[in-house]
Chains A and B, each alone.
Chain A
């Protein structure tokens, strides 16, 4: 009975623990080029809709850079982010300004990573998904595909 229950729980939990986050097929090309130049074009599910909105409203002061986009680009990107945004209840508070690396979910998922690793020059920033998740650009975040610089798998 117990094992049946845990199997059931596992099945229920699997989609919630999805480690595959490829960008949707209808991702605007402008999202990839504008938001994917300085960092990975993040999957919209990594932030809540209101946090994306706040981010778009402050693009001219985007973590020290002026990442402003023209009106046409914003009209492509904004509904796209809203359509695929994450569930705020699952993500938790992202801080102000919102950072997807500060959501409770991100912190929980990375709680085993020591400060020393985050400070490794090859990683540089928590935003640099690809430093450890080598296939992050294809949306693959599986534990089996992690390779932490200096530690291997």
Chain B
């Protein structure tokens, strides 16, 4: 009986752990609304950021350096050459299902490519773009 309950709890917790792209977009939107109550995520702004050339980092001047111009395509790490699975949620169902992973990569990539941390608004925009793009 006890193991049954534990198994049920485990099943419930693993379901709640996996999130969807709209949930992750919503979480960043809510965070952005704390400073701008009229904020609404924009896929168009997200695409502009995705394509912007920051040139802070010689080897990785833009998101597209590794992720290519097409987020639905397989990318390639600019230094190691390792394949990177598509960013677009339509092409890769694993994308935007783990909030901790999303936050980790925004943290690393924004610091290295943009040269600073991204704002919640920028993250909401990029998630909006990558959730919608085909």
Give Cα A39–Cα B79 distance, bound, in whole angstroms: 9
Convert B45-78 into 0s and 1s, putting 1 for each residue whose CB lies closer than 8 angstroms to a CB of A: 0000000000000010000000000000000110
Give Cα A122–Cα B80 distance, bound, in whole angstroms: 10
Convert A31-75 into 0s and 1s, putting 1 for each residue whose CB lies closer than 8 angstroms to a CB of B: 001000011100000000000000000000001111100000000
A127 contacts B by Cβ under 8 Å: yes
Across the two chains, which residue of chain A brings its CB closest to B112? A65
Give Cα A125–Cα B83 distance, bound, in whole angstroms: 12
Return chain A residues, CB-CB under 8 Å to B116: none
Given contacts A38-B77, A39-B77, contact A65 B108 (CB under 8 A): yes
A90 contacts B by Cβ under 8 Å: no
Return chain B residues, CB-CB under 8 Å to A125: 79-81
Interface size for B (C-beta < 8 A) is: 12
- Chain A nearest CB, measured from B100 CB (Å): 10
B111 contacts A by Cβ under 8 Å: yes
B82 contacts A by Cβ under 8 Å: yes
Question: Contact between B59 and A127 (Cβ–Cβ < 8 Å)?
Answer: no
Across the two chains, which residue of chain B brings its CB closest to A69? B104
Convert A107-142 into 0s and 1s, putting 1 for each residue whose CB lies closer than 8 angstroms to a CB of B: 000000000000000111101101100000000000
Return chain A residues, CB-CB under 8 Å to B101: 33
Return chain A residues, CB-CB under 8 Å to B77: 38-39
Question: Contact between A66 and B82 (Cβ–Cβ < 8 Å)?
Answer: no
Question: Contact between B81 and A123 (Cβ–Cβ < 8 Å)?
Answer: yes
Question: Contact between A38 and B112 (Cβ–Cβ < 8 Å)?
Answer: no
- B59, B82, B108, most chain A CB atoms within 10 A: B82
Which among A64, A65, A66, A124 is the interface contact of B81 at CB below 8 angstroms?
A124
Question: Contact between B111 and A63 (Cβ–Cβ < 8 Å)?
Answer: no
Return chain A residues, CB-CB under 8 Å to B83: 130
Return chain B residues, CB-CB under 8 Å to A39: 77, 80, 82
